[in-house]
Amino acid sequence: MYLGLIIKESLESIDFLQDNRIVVLKEDIWEVGSRAVDWQPKEWTAIYVEGADKDLGDLATAISCSILEKWYANLSNPTIEYVIFRKKIFAYEKGDGETKQKAKMYAKDIGVPEHQLDW
C-alpha cells in the first residue's frame, strides 16, 4: 500500500480523487500562517490518501497533471518515495540521498520555498 499527502489548494482540479482506486483517508485544515509565502493561502487543506502499490504510478501521473507550479505532493510505500511536481516526478528508493537532493534542487529552481522542502 502507498500513502500520500496532497494539499488541496495546490491543485487545479481534484477530479482524479474520484477514481475508486484512490482512498481519501481524511482531510485536515492547516493554519500555516507565516510558513505560507505571498502567493500561497494561509490555510491549507491536507488530503491524506492511500491505495494499492500497483496504482502508485497512475496516481503520481494524475497529480503531476493537476498540481500547480511551485507546489509538490508526496506519495510513498515502504521502499519508494515519490515527489511530484507539475509535469515532473521524482521516484527513488528510500535512502537514496542523491536523487532526493536532485528533487530538492529542482523544487528550489521552480520556486518552492526552502522552508517547505521538508520531505
How does pLDDT run across 35-82, given as a tens digit for each residue? 999 999 999 999 999 999 999 999 999 999 999 999 999 999 999 999
CA-atom Rg of the chain in angstroms:
14
Closest CA to 70 of 114, 102, 28, 35: 114
Please say whether the beta carbons of 9 and 67 come within 8 A: no
Residues 18 and 5: their CA atoms lie apart, in Å, by 16
Compute the average pLDDT of residues 25-40.
Answer: 95
Question: 7-11, 20-24, 81-85: which has the minimum mean pLDDT?
Answer: 20-24
For the chain, helix (H) and strand (E) counts, in that order, are 2, 6
Closest CA to 92 of 68, 112, 84, 64: 84
Closest CA to 100 of 73, 82, 114, 115: 82
Task: Give the CA count within 13 Å in the CB-facing half-sphere of 66.
Answer: 19
